[in-house]
């Protein structure tokens, strides 16, 4: 299986490759080096590929590219469902607990020279009707082991999908996602004239929480304060916290984010569970210490304490050189992005007990560098240093301090900062070739806020960034 795995890995690294049936030839090309039984994996790869194509050889539009539903649907489609292979329709029919796949005997797939005898034998077997079973098959030589060394099958005899090696599914799923993502529509050009950005005018709207998210009362009885919680990642964190049972307060900028604030409050009220209290929205410019002090006092007055502090609010401005960064802009960005962390922590600590958590939002930028947002990147680097130093100061008090460094994410700061033409390709620079959604980032905060889950984490930075390798 090593050669097949290597082929899968090579294929997964291809950039800008479309999800076209030609790539199946890559799987079959390497099959000449494999034993007969191993050819089943390449064959199954082909079968799965057929099931996720329509007559125009396009991915099924109803299947979200970044969802596991794609993979499960590909393996267990709802029959009857048409599949097409170079123009030849193959009808998928139900039979028992599996999927019956009549195989074409007149495939138009190109034949290459140098096929081995095992491959020719496999082609002969492919003319038979195959039955892909979901029931375990035990090898006669090893009845206790599902799919033993010989897999216990012959042409036309049952095979199991669920018992295949996990490595096959892992590699195929990576390829499948990358292929599908390469066809995912880009964001339409758009920009906003003011900061902070407004989520309710974005097209498409960011995904705040995944429909597949399953809360588990991880933050039951906790009180959380999230700065910049009206939109973007902050809103996703607030909603995830609320679904996990926390009482949530958040800050926003009055006059700029009122509509987003109202929408977030509505979401939190609907998500409130158990003994959680009603959410609280606080208008504040947190770049100034007195305002931060008042925010903490309001939260403590309302709820009595703070268990989780999320320093998330930020702003950025694109510039091409240091000469373009005015003193006013520099102070503004540093006040919002890093001074506020110092101010809020200073006044919140007296209300935080052992087991509490501080989570700071940094960015991939200080690790990768970003010449277009020098001041913003500098503040995010400062947040990493702040997180590491503060964690060591507070470890004796039992308060954990960690950070999250997202990559490109579809949030209001993007259209409020970047020109419209840049939005179309947002996220294209990362290995996954797409921007993340707030719903994909928020679980990091839930993990770090939950003491049972992250009790051995402090001074650490999580990196949900679409596959960028971070070594620092």
Name the catalytic one among 376, 445, 456, 457.
Answer: 376
Q: Rounded distance, CA 48 to CA 75, Å?
A: 6
Instruction: Decide: 376 and 314 in contact? Cβ < 8 Å.
Output: yes
The candidate with the shortest Cα–Cα distance to 367, out of 454, 440, 430, is: 430
Is 376 an annotated catalytic residue?
Answer: yes
The helix (H) or strand (E) run that includes residue 379 is helix 374-394
Q: How many residues does the chain have?
A: 472
Tokens of 230: 């009206």
d(CA 373, CA 152): 60
Q: Check: CB of residue 55 under 8 Å from CB of residue 29.
A: no
Among candidate residues 470, 364, 437, the one with its CA nearest the CA of residue 66: 437
Residues sharing a CB contact under 8 Å with residue 440, sequence separation 6 or more, in sequence order: 66, 207, 210, 409, 464
Mode of pairing for the β-strands spanning 98-101 and 88-95: antiparallel
Q: How far apart are CA 209 and CA 205, in angstroms?
A: 12
- Which letter, b or e, does each residue of 194-219 get, where b requires 16 or more Cβ atoms within 10 Å of its Cβ? ebbbbbeebeeebbbbbeeeebeebb
- DSSP SS3 for 361: strand
Q: In what side-by-side order are the strands of the sheet with 159-160?
A: 81-85, 88-95, 98-101, 130-133, 159-160
| Non-local CB neighbours of 407 within 8 Å, separated by 6+ positions | 364, 427, 430, 436, 463, 464, 465, 466, 468
Burial, 117: exposed, middle or buried (Cβ in 10 Å; 0-12, 13-18, 19+)?
A: exposed
| Residue with tokens 């997180």, as numbered in its chain | 387
Give the residue ranges of DSSP H helices in 54-181: 68-75, 117-126, 166-181
Distance, CA of 37 to CA of 104 (rounded, Å): 20
162: which 2 tokens?
């669920």
- Residue 330 and residue 377 in contact, taking contact as beta carbons nearer than 8 Å: no
What's the N-to-C CA distance of the chain in angstroms?
35
Q: Which residues are catalytic?
A: 376
């Amino acid at each position: 299986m090593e050669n097949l795995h290597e082929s899968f890995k090579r294929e997964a690294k291809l950039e800008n490759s479309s999800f076209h049936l030609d790539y199946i030839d890559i799987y079959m090309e390497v099959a000449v080096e494999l034993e007969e039984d191993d050819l089943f994996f390449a064959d199954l790869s082909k079968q799965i590929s057929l099931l996720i194509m329509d007559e125009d050889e396009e991915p099924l539009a109803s299947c979200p590219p970044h969802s596991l539903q794609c993979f499960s649907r590909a393996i267990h489609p709802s029959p009857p469902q048409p599949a097409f292979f170079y123009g030849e329709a193959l009808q998928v029919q139900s039979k028992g607990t599996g999927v019956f796949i009549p195989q074409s005997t007149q495939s138009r797939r190109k034949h290459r020279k140098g096929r081995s005898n095992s491959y020719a034998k496999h082609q002969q077997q492919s003319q038979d009707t195959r039955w892909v079973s979901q029931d375990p098959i035990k090898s006669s030589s090893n009845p206790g082991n599902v799919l033993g060394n010989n897999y216990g099958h012959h042409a036309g005899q049952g095979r199991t999908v669920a018992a295949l090696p996990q490595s096959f599914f892992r590699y195929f799923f990576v390829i499948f996602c990358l292929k599908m993502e390469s066809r995912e529509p880009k964001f339409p050009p758009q920009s906003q004239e003011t900061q902070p950005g407004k989520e309710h005018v974005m097209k498409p709207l960011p995904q705040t929480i995944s429909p597949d998210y399953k809360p588990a009362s991880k933050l039951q009885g906790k009180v959380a304060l999230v700065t910049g919680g009206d939109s973007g990642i902050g809103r996703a964190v607030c909603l995830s916290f609320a679904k996990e049972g926390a009482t949530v307060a958040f800050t926003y900028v009055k006059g700029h984010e009122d509509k987003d604030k109202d929408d977030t409050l509505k979401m939190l009220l609907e998500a409130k569970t158990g003994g959680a209290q009603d959410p609280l929205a606080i208008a504040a410019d947190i770049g100034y210490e007195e305002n931060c002090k008042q925010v903490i006092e309001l939260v403590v007055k309302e709820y009595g304490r703070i268990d989780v502090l999320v320093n998330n609010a930020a702003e950025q401005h694109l510039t091409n050189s240091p000469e373009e960064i005015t003193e006013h802009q520099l102070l503004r960005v540093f006040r919002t992005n890093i001074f506020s962390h110092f101010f809020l922590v200073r006044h919140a600590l007296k209300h935080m007990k052992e087991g509490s958590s501080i989570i700071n939002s940094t960015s991939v930028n200080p690790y990768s560098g970003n010449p277009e947002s020098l001041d913003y990147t500098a503040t995010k680097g400062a947040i990493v240093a702040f997180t590491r130093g503060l964690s060591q100061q507070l470890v004796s008090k039992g308060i954990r301090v960690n950070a999250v460094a997202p990559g490109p994410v579809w949030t209001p700061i993007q259209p409020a900062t970047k020109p419209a033409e840049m939005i179309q390709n947002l996220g294209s620079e990362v290995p996954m070739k797409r921007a993340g959604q707030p719903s994909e980032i928020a679980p990091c905060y839930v993990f770090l806020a939950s003491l049972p889950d992250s009790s051995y984490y402090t001074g650490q930075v999580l990196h949900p960034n679409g596959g960028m390798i971070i070594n620092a």
